[in-house]
Amino acid sequence: MVTAAQHMTASVQTKKGRLYAVIVHCKDGKRKYVWRSLDLPEGAPKSKVAKSFKEVVDSYERQHTDVQISEPDSLTPTVLNKEADIPIYDFMDGWLEKCKLNYQINTYLGYNRMIQGQIKRYFSEHKNITVGNITSRNIEAFYETLYDIGNMSNTVCKYHALLRKAFQYAYKHEIIDANPFDRVDRPKIIKYNAACFSEEEWRKLMNEAANDNIYPVIVLAGGLGLRRSEALGVRWSRIDFAQNTVLIDTKVVEKIENNKTIAIPIEQMKNVSSRRTIPLTAPVIQMLNNIKEMQGLYKEMFKGSYNKEFEDYVCVDPLGNLLRPGYVTAHFPQILQKVGLKHIRFHDLRHTFASMLLSRNVPLIDVSNFLGHSTISTTANIYGHLDKSSKIASAKVISQIFNDKKRQ
């Protein structure tokens, strides 16, 4: 970051994977933003960035002899208005409320948990750190604290993304003239290798967990490849038993209300492709028929005590209440221990579904459609190593090419 001696400031910014010097030229109370390419990709060595940045800024300064750009200071962004004096937690809390309508409710709730959790705990003890004076060292110290209390790199990376997003808002609204989080290396994401059940293990789980409250969620996740929130959001009105299909257009998330965690359904999916109609498999149809019958018995048994607000939902408890996502996640390991199966995450049932299809040579595009991925590349990145059918097809094509050459 460089600060203007009189009328100019400059900083390094990224755009579409490339680095630029953004020069803010102030004249007669008006700001003019000038972008100059550094001809370097994002992630280039700092020494090269510093050299190119200085050359570009010096060149611009020579063209504008009426103003002067001072040499770079430390790592602190230049303050453009009084809002930059706000402590970090207060800024983050206010930013999220301002931008609340820009995010799906589960995204908002996730951000809110992070802000009211570790961000509040750390920065409430460091109120001297503000939006305008936070440095790279301050940021790295916060990340170190996250690591010290047991967080993994992937979690720290989420905090980095959230904080950078909020400070980008501050930059765009001219609270500061550079995003300090661009100066900090993003924590490396460690790719998670999913632990899947074999077909035999999956059948054992299906047989031995049939009397558990979350059995319908298990079958929908492992039998249709649904995400946890999607499985909890399956509704009777979206099921076509004549065509044996189900429309996935609702999910269930959690929120805290009056200090109590509750489940709420929302008709807002992760992306456009997440709203999809998929065929019902035989085990799922059998489960649905059994659950339909059981819910009828529970309504008769508990009468006025039965909650009819959610009677359109498949995954409810005996009193008709929606099952909470957190309860499903916490209860699932207990089921595995009880039936004697290895530990996997609940989300790994979705991976189990995909791996079983791919092991039977189902095309990757069909698996992608089932899972509701936004692009087939997402499916390929996760399951490409399991896609035997495309590898076999490729091998056949290559063999055919060589056979044709021999005949010539």
pLDDT digits (tens, 9 = 90+) for 190-240: 776 678 899 999 999 999 999 999 999 999 999 999 999 999 999 999 999
344 and 231 share a domain? Answer: yes
215 and 281 share a domain? Answer: yes
> 329 pLDDT exceeds 70?
yes
348 and 225 share a domain? Answer: yes
Tell me if 185 is assigned to some domain.
yes
> 77 pLDDT exceeds 90?
no
> 300 pLDDT exceeds 90?
yes
237 and 345 share a domain? Answer: yes
Q: What is the mean pLDDT of residues 288-306?
A: 94
38 and 185 share a domain? Answer: no
Tell me if 407 is assigned to some domain.
no
At 361 the pLDDT is: 81
Q: What is the mean pLDDT of residues 131-150?
A: 91
Domain end among 190, 211, 241: 190
> 384 pLDDT exceeds 60?
no
Owning domain of residue 171: 76-190
What share of the chain has pLDDT > 90, as a percent? Answer: 46
Tell me if 60 is assigned to some domain.
yes
33 and 143 share a domain? Answer: no
Q: Please report which confidence band the pLDDT of residue 80 belongs to, taking 50, 70 and 90 as the band edges.
A: low
> 307 pLDDT exceeds 90?
yes
351 and 316 share a domain? Answer: yes
Domain end among 38, 55, 73: 73
Question: If you average pLDDT over each of 20-29, 192-201, 272-281, 303-312, which comes out highest?
Answer: 303-312
334 and 248 share a domain? Answer: yes
CATH assignment at residue 58: 3.10.20
Average pLDDT, the chain: 83
229 and 176 share a domain? Answer: no
Structural domain count, the chain: 3
At 17 the pLDDT is: 81
180 and 216 share a domain? Answer: no
Q: What is the mean pLDDT of residues 264-280?
A: 84
Q: Using one digit for the tens of pLDDT, what is the confidence trace for 345-374?
A: 999 998 898 888 888 888 878 888 888 877
Q: Using one digit for the tens of pLDDT, what is the confidence trace for 9-21?
A: 778 888 778 888 8
309 and 246 share a domain? Answer: yes
Q: Please report which confidence band the pLDDT of residue 5 belongs to, taking 50, 70 and 90 as the band edges.
A: very low
138 and 240 share a domain? Answer: no
At 3 the pLDDT is: 41
> 176 pLDDT exceeds 90?
no
CATH assignment at residue 140: 1.10.150.130
Pair of tokens at residue 389: 């059918």
CATH assignment at residue 384: 1.10.443.10
At 402 the pLDDT is: 52
At 115 the pLDDT is: 96
